[in-house]
Structure 1
Amino acid sequence: MEFSQSEENEEVTLSKFESMLKTNSVFFFDSNEFENIIHHYLESGKIALAKKAIKLGLSQHPASLNLKLFQVEILIFENKLNEADRLLSPLFEIEPNNEELYIQKANIFSKKDQHEKAIQVFKEAIEIAEDSADLYSLIGMEYLFLDQYQEAKQNFKKCIELDLEDYSALYNIIYCFDFLDETTEAIEYLNSYLDKNPYSEVAWHQLGKQYVETKQLVKAVTAFDFAIISDDTFIGAYLEKAKVLEKLNRFEEAIENYKITIAIEDSTAYALIKIGYCYERLNHGDLALQHYYQAVEEDPALDKGWMRITKFFMAKKDYQKALFHINKAIDIDGDNAAYWLLYSTINERLSLLEEAERGYKRTLELGDCELSTWLSRGDILIKLGEYEAAKFNFVQALEYHPKSEELEFRLSGVCLKLNNMDAGYAHLLTGLHINLEHVFILEELFPEVYQRKAVLQLIENFKNTHQ
């Protein structure tokens, strides 16, 4: 159902149709005009208007097969699958060799998660279709739904055999190779494809990514170069090439490629950050910082930009400037766990323990429940003498990290400090069972607890029994 009218005729027809809806007048349109109107509304996502056009079209052309097919398509979209099936079945008697009927029938099976039946119907459609490339693609998608990646790959390959420029199928083939961990096979296939289509920037780009996967970095650079030769405005190829050049420590060349992407696409914050990082690796601190600032000016919400600036000053041990910038980042996005974690680290290095603890607590609230975050917060609470809060923190942490001797030994120390003897000894024994060698944690954090006669005796008895 191709949309065949010229743009000018299309606008006139649409204007006339919409005028009819507004005035409740009745104008006549031939079936082709209705098809074009419906197609336009479907492409625009205006389903309600498409449905009105189908209803009016069928009232004027009740025998139109294409209008009925549009009606079936809408019903499938709305998940009214049984109703769509009832409308579709009698159409096979009218025009049994219409491949669109088979496609819609298969779509109904697919929406019902009956993918094997959908595949069978698509195969029947291939028997009568003049051009089967799209059908092989649809079969490939059904096999993807079934997680049958080998079969999906074979059908997408048939698409390529029929149309070398079908890049959607090519991407799907590579997706299958990736899922199956067949990197070597992917490289062989892409090289074979490039023998037939040597100026395909997409294939060269994908080949380069496969070489990166196999750590063949020099070959990857060459592949990206060929992608750029095929299309010198292909930003993706410049970016991937630049990232590989970074890995090869060829930072000047990486900067050059990142700058090309900016020239093609105007300033992009990501490229500016990467340029800054390369300058930092080249020990050009001023240029690095200049590009980081440009990046956050371009996109203030880009967390990597603020992180780079903050870490730049941390590396120079200029913690006050680092704190200034991470505070600016938090003002922009107070729900970014990575910001709060960095905020905590900086405050801890500035010996601002209350602020550091607040930051770790906020980090945990935002979902960063790494063991190191729980430990850092708890250790600060211990330093602050907040033993009950430290105990509660470590108990919460055990829910996420139930077999951590680091938590058990800390809980033992806190409980014994609070004279909760039974719990203290229980946690100590649990920690010893997990990893006896790490009992030094108790000694370092709670030396006075560790030196208690009962504690030393328990540890000694455990060693004698378990060694």
Structure 2
Amino acid sequence: MEEEEFDFEFSEDPKQSVERYEEMVRNQDQYFFDAHVFENIIDYYIEKNDPVKALQVIDYAVLQHPFAAMFLIKQAQLYVFTNEIDKAFASLDRAELLEPSEGDIYLIRGNIYESLERHEDALENLLKALEMAESKDEVLMQIAYVYQNMGDYDEAVNYLKRCLENNMENQDALYELAFCYDVLDKQDESIQFYKQYIDNEPYSFAAWYNLGNAYHKIGLFEKAIDAYDYAILIKENFSSAYFNKGNALVQLDKYAEAIEVYKQTFEYEPPNADTYCAIGECYEKLEKMDEARSYYKKAVKMDTKLADAWYGIGVTLDFEERYFESLHFYKKALNLDDQNPDFWFAMADAYYKLNNLEESVKAYEKVVELNPLDVEAWLDYSSIVFEQSNLKLCIEIIAEGIKNNPDSAELYYRLVAYLFADGQYNEALTQLQLALNTDIDKHYLLFEYLPQLQDNKVIIDIINRFSK
């Protein structure tokens, strides 16, 4: 049968082009399509998420337009999508022979190498792409990502800055830059950069937002709030800015204001578990436990795996002296995150209040294992062991606490008290001098714990000598 040939060079309706193409395939005929019509048909199948059919169209396109590199480039992209990496490389090699000055070839090849963690090969190709690209934004971003993946955040910063010089409105670059400065712990540089950027682009809500985040990270919460307010002024529905403003207000103990700001996010996006949990925490700090519990429950209803919200419910019950009930919720939190020392601390405290000293000790052991810098935990842990009259063990516990916190006067004074209680008077006096050297103003802690030592003339003389 003789093949019919039709020319659809001027077909304007993409749907009609697709119908003609499918008719050609059904009839096993050979119609001629102009290159841009083939592009429309390929894009149609890509939008339909049908890469197999898109690749079939490319086969026809390459037969009819053997010198058009764009089809081989699209073919490579689709092979990447279908995870046929060798075929993608082969298509790019053929495209490069036809059109070696086409930047997309090197961009795609660079991205493939990066996905294979071949960073140097990725950079070599991306730098070639950069030379040829008309719009350099995307390539500069990709190079920055490679440097991030190599752990070279300083170089990533350089390329992100170049990206923003090239296009001041590239918000992805603004956020990535903030991330890199954060990893490098260079918040001062971050602040300086965003302030300069805002001088040129005062209406960039993303820049104000990132400036706010940088201030927040170094504890300048008032300045952070001002920056978030500018971001909100420019983009009223910027829910992330409201949320972070709420977080900054919490840091300033302005819990009632924070609640109002958190609730404003609901005007611009559906409520989420994290925001409910944050509101619950504010009500908890205001000691409005019913409201707090209500919001924590809303949080776990939306996300049953949100450990902080289960923990929050436990805290509200603990506050109401419902210790046995609180344990149930602390356990739920620990089932989701058993590496959180705050959860273990709450458990230890609840067990202690229920007079279950054995379980309390076990929980405190976990607290100091997970967070050996928690001075309060070492004090409480040793105190329970002291109540059980195990003086040797409580001295060992405090000594271990001091190893981890050598500047903590609280631990030294407690050790002095335990040593006196154990009859180790000479060692107690040695440790007392260390405690006084560390912080003489806290010597009252010794008498708080063992009031009878206030009548000990030797101790009083040593303290008076240090005071002078």
Is the alpha carbon distance of 1:437 and 1:334 closer, same or farther for their aligned partners in structure 2, counting shifts above 3 Å?
closer
Q: Is the counterpart of residue 50 in structure 1 residue 51 in structure 2?
A: yes
Of 137-146 and 214-223, more deviation after overlay is shown by: 137-146
2:279 matched residue in structure 1: 275
Give the Å deviation of 1:194.
Answer: 1.3
Relative to structure 1, the CA distance from residue 376 to residue 36 in structure 2 (aligned partners, 3 Å threshold; closer, same or farther) is farther
Cα distance, 1:149–1:11 mapped onto 2, change above 3 Å: farther
Cα distance in structure 2, aligned partners of 1:209 and 1:277 = 21
Matched, 1:214 2:218: yes
What residue in structure 2 maps to residue 158 of structure 1?
Answer: 162
Cα distance in structure 2, aligned partners of 1:408 and 1:352: 25
Map residues 306-317 of structure 1 onto 2, 5 A cutoff: 306-316=310-320
Q: In the alignment, which residue of structure 1 is the partner of 2:325?
A: 324
Decide whether aligned partners of structure 1 residues 360 and 16 sit closer, same or farther in structure 2, where only a CA change above 3 A counts: farther
| Closer, same or farther: CA 263–207 of 1 in aligned 2, 3 Å | same
Once the two structures are superposed, residues 262-321 of structure 1 have per-residue CA deviations (whole angstroms, 9 ceiling, x without a partner) of 3333433333333333334334444434433444444444222221222223234x1xx3
1:13 aligns with 2:32: no
Shift in alpha-carbon separation, 1:73–1:327, aligned structure 2, 3 A: same
Q: Does the CA-based 8 Å contact 1:296-1:302 persist in structure 2?
A: yes
RMSD of the alignment, in Å? 4.9
Counterpart check, 1:115 vs 2:115? no
Paired residues, number: 399
Distance 1:11 1:211 in 2: 56
Q: Secondary structure at the match of 2:279?
A: helix
8 Å Cα contact 1:133-1:162 kept in structure 2? yes
For normalisation by structure 2, the TM-score amounts to 0.66
From 131, 136, 141, the counterpart of 1:132: 136
Residue 61 of structure 1 corresponds to: 62
For each residue in 1:46-78, what CA deviation from the matched residue of structure 2 results, as whole angstroms up to 9, or x when unmatched?
A: 5xx414431453145322422222332344556
In structure 1, runs of 5+ residues without a counterpart are: 1-5, 385-390, 392-403, 410-434
The answer for unaligned runs of 5 or more in structure 2 is 1-10, 401-410, 432-468
State the Cα distance separating 1:209 from its structure 2 match.
1.0
SS at match of 1:242: helix
Superposed, 1:450-465 pairs within 5 Å as none
Question: What TM-score comes out, normalization by structure 1 length?
Answer: 0.67
**How do 1:403-414 residues align onto structure 2 when only pairs under 5 Å count?**
406=397
Alignment partners' CA distance in 1, 2:205 and 2:382: 54
Q: Deviations over 1:378-411 (max 9, x none)?
A: 9999999xxxxxx9xxxxxxxxxxxx954999xx
- Shift in alpha-carbon separation, 1:29–1:314, aligned structure 2, 3 A: farther
Work out the CA distance in 2 between the residues paired with 1:215 and 1:14: 62
Contact 1:306 1:325 in 2 (8 A): no
Instruction: Tell me, in whole angstroms, the C-alpha distance in 1 between the residues paired with 2:129 and 2:329.
Output: 60
1:305 to 306, 309, 322: 309
For the 8 Å contact 2:113–2:121, the answer to whether it is kept is yes
- Which residue identity lines up with residue 292 of structure 1 in the other structure? Y
Q: Secondary structure at the match of 1:265?
A: coil
Tell me the percent identity: 27
Distance 1:55 1:311, change over 3 A: same
Question: Does residue 186 in structure 1 map to residue 190 in structure 2?
Answer: yes
